[in-house]
A and B are shown apart, each in its own frame.
Chain A
Amino acid sequence: MSLRERLASGSFAVTAEISPPRGASIGQVTETAGLLRDWVDAVNVTDNQGAHVRLASWSGSLAVLAAGVEPVMQMTCRDRNRIALQSDLLGASALGIRNILVMTGDHPKFGDHPGARPVFDLDSVQLLWTLRTMRDQGVLLSGRRLGPAPECFLGAVENPFAPPVGFRAERLGKKVAAGAQFVQTQFVFDVPAFGRWMAQVRDLGLHERCAILAGVGAVRSRRALDFMRDKVPGVVLPDDVYRRLRAVPEDRTAAEGAGLAAETVQQVAGIPGVAGVHLLVAGNEQAVPGILDAAGIRAGGPGVRTSRGSEAPGGC
């Protein structure tokens, strides 16, 4: 069952994220995809995450596909202009990569090439809009016809926790209007705040037009905890969560982090309108089976996994 079909069927979807290596080898991506195969519906491949140079997202996506897992190719607006972005969609679609996740991208300032020219020729809304038009109308942004039109299932990201909080659901609404069919959120550590955002999403009826996947991460060390709280733009880590993960001995931080992630999966699954979870575990993929098992989501391959009691999203 493809991610699109899973979401359309209304059963609980799981995606996870892998970060390609800084080097010209694909072995690690293939291995990780194999590890996740029976547990997730699709695997995101990041696009030079955090503005750090890594093996290309399209290349990693092809490796994931070859490993028998459906890739979600991430595409940021940071490094390529509208010509390259449209060309990438055609290339991805032609080679069987169907899920495209569009995001603005972290500023180069935060990466390993801070002197790089930031492109940002299109923003994420404009890119979604462009890709949707290529698929549905068979035209480029220039107005020029293309053929055959690409096939794609379009995703977006949103951060429910960043100011202006009152605008975040409407911002998702713009992405849905532009073409987003699913959305993966920033790390959910503050479940009540996520619930308030979901209430706004439901008020706008967005969950019926776009599948909402809550981002859930597993903190695996004290260093990662501090880094996430202080250094990752847009992540909100409430004090009680921080204290809970600091309270255990350092060698138990990873276990506690995985336990917290499993609890979060269960909590967000109970929020009406949530279609699934997106596990933000890049570099810690081996934690996925444990988290899902503890959350009561069983392995067994796509289509066999049992779903938790969340309200079904609309067809996407």
Chain B
Amino acid sequence: MTTASGVPVHPRLGARLAYHVQRALRPHAGFRWLSARIEASDPARALFTGAEHQVKAGLFGCRMCGQCTLPVTGYVCPMGCPKELRNGPCGGVGADGSCEVYPERRCVWVEAYERAASQGRSADLRLLHRPVDHRRWGQSSWLSYWQGRDEGLWTPGAGDPADGQGARR
């Protein structure tokens, strides 16, 4: 688990390949069964979560926020933004597309925009992302995804910003 500020990371996996991998990882009965088995065992869950972190940190600079947006942000991690902006770039992006806080790096949203557009996925960037649930740092996002717990992370329209999180009433 890490909560230090984000640093923009250029993904090591091409956008096209990333979307292919995503198709292979979509939830189905097999993954649901497997993820439930993994979650039932603490050692298995820890091992799986560690492996997920290794893979995603190497490819995308993942910091394990536990609520992965990669499939709808051009496979560029928005938590690499020093302001952790999940709904698009701030107004301080340099004219050359550089991050205002780390000028030697490119803004994650400039990269997300280019990569999503290159794969015909620009519409993804219009989705509204709900606030991060900070209790989920360090947890596996893949297990949550297969278990259907990530369905409220983003939405096409502006319904309830609190969907699925917080202390209810």
Contact = CB atoms under 8 A, between A and B. Distances in A.
Interface of A: 77-78, 82, 103-107, 109-110, 118, 120-126, 129-130, 132-133, 137, 139-145, 157-159, 162-164, 166-167, 170-171, 173-174, 177-179, 186, 233-234, 236
B82 interface: yes
A133 B161 CA distance: 8
B82 to A, nearest CB: 6
Given A145-B169, A167-B125, A107 B101 contact: yes
Given A107-B83, A178-B128, A166 B113 contact: yes
Given A125-B87, A164-B109, A178-B128, 18 more contacts: A78-B83, A104-B90, A118-B83, A121-B134, A123-B87, A124-B87, A125-B88, A139-B162, A141-B161, A142-B162, A143-B166, A144-B168, A159-B93, A164-B110, A170-B125, A170-B126, A178-B158, A233-B91
Interface of B: 5, 82-97, 100-101, 107, 109-110, 113-114, 125-126, 128-132, 134, 157-158, 160-162, 166-169
A174 B130 CA distance: 12
30 contacts: A105-B83, A107-B100, A118-B5, A118-B83, A121-B134, A123-B86, A126-B130, A130-B131, A133-B161, A140-B162, A142-B166, A142-B168, A143-B169, A144-B167, A159-B91, A162-B94, A163-B94, A163-B107, A163-B110, A164-B113, A167-B113, A171-B87, A173-B126, A174-B88, A174-B126, A177-B128, A177-B157, A178-B158, A234-B91, A234-B100
Contacts of B83: 77-78, 104-105, 107, 118, 120, 123
A171 B88 contact: yes
Contacts of B97: 163-164
A107 B95 contact: no
A129 B126 contact: no
